[in-house]
Amino acid sequence: MAPFFSILPALSFLALLPIVMSRDKIPLKSSLSVDDYQNDVLQSADGTFSCGFLTIYSNAFAFSIWYTNSKNKTVVWTANRGRPVHARRSVVTLQKDGAMVLKDYDGTVVWQSDSNSIDVQYAQLLDTGNLVMKNSSGKVVWQSFDSPTDTLLPTQKITAATKLVSTTGLYVPGHYTFHFTDSSILSLMYDDADVHEIYWPDPDRGEYGNKRNRYNNTRMGFLDDNGDFVSSDFADQQPFSASDKGSGIKRRLTLDHDGNLRLYSLSNGEWLVSWVAISQPCNIHGLCGPNGICHYSPTPTCSCPPGYEMNSHGNWSQGLYEHMQE
């Protein structure tokens, strides 16, 4: 047996090491701080998801949920996307009144949960990727699943009250949306100040040609654990299925920045497309912006017709203007 005095230095050294423990809950009157964003993070019990402050560009952070073991930390939800906070003194707190509040460095409220916060005891990141707030009875009184950004996770529902909105390269909401229209058809739409146009399902084929049923009052769709996406307006009740259909695979359904809806499967940290809504991306409205021409060479490529120039160099979504020649 080693002499007692010989192990004392080792014990003293261990006492000086920081103890980092993963946690999935924020108790009442507790916070997550951007100043320690690498360590001050929630993690679901099974380790699949993380929640905290994530850097999006220089000195700008977002309060988000992401897949822990995916490359580039793939984000699946963000609080008030498009309004980042500063890299110092920003904090999200589960206040004593039960409201979860995100504040910038100067105390400005950037986001807060819209819930009946009476009797809230803690917030918890579940294995599904859902950030929830629970009361003393364990009942969920608020959940991030009710306010999706651009991604739907397995078991998360899209309803008449929710929608997916694409994210641009500037990390702000884009012009593409995925939601139930007034005719109860789950659709992809290009939506800006001047144009509101459905481009999927194919508007030229009509509801019955697309095997959709407007006579459904449920207005609910969801991605299940096997990779099937089902919706109440599917007339034949046949789901859209992942090419690798089966349980035990991490997935996400995302409305990408280019307006296409894709189902992804995680394999060795990489995302593989296992289903796509539109196989011919040039059919996506606004892909090349107003007046732009989309063609394949062999991937979708944008170009200007004669006499036109881009409004914003490198950004086709801003469209083209007619160049007046002298």
SS3 string, the chain, reads CCCHHHHHHHHHHHHHCCCCCCECEEECCEEEEHHHCCCCCEECCCCCEEEEEEEEECCEEEEEEEECCCCCCCEEEECCCCCCEECCCCEEEECCCCCEEEECCCCCEEEECCCCCCCEEEEEECCCCCEEEEECCCCEEEEHHHCCCCEECCCCEEECCCCEEEECCCCCEEEEEEEECCCCCEEEEEECCCCEEEEECCCCCHHHHCCECCCCCCCEEEECCCCEEEECCECCCCCEECCCCCCCCCEEEEECCCCCEEEEEEECCEEEEEEECCCCHHHCCCCCCCCCEEEECCCEEEECCCCEEECCCCCHHHCEEECCCC
Supply the pTM of this predicted model: 0.86
pLDDT recorded at residue 245: 96
pLDDT at 276: 97
Q: Lowest mean pLDDT: which of 93-97, 111-115, 280-284, 311-315?
A: 311-315
pLDDT in tens, 249-292: 999 999 999 999 999 999 999 999 999 999 888 888 777 877 88
**Would you state the pLDDT for residue 22?**
58
Average pLDDT of span 302-313: 84
**Domains, the chain, ordered by start:** 19-145 (2.90.10.10), 148-284 (2.90.10.10), 288-322 (no CATH)
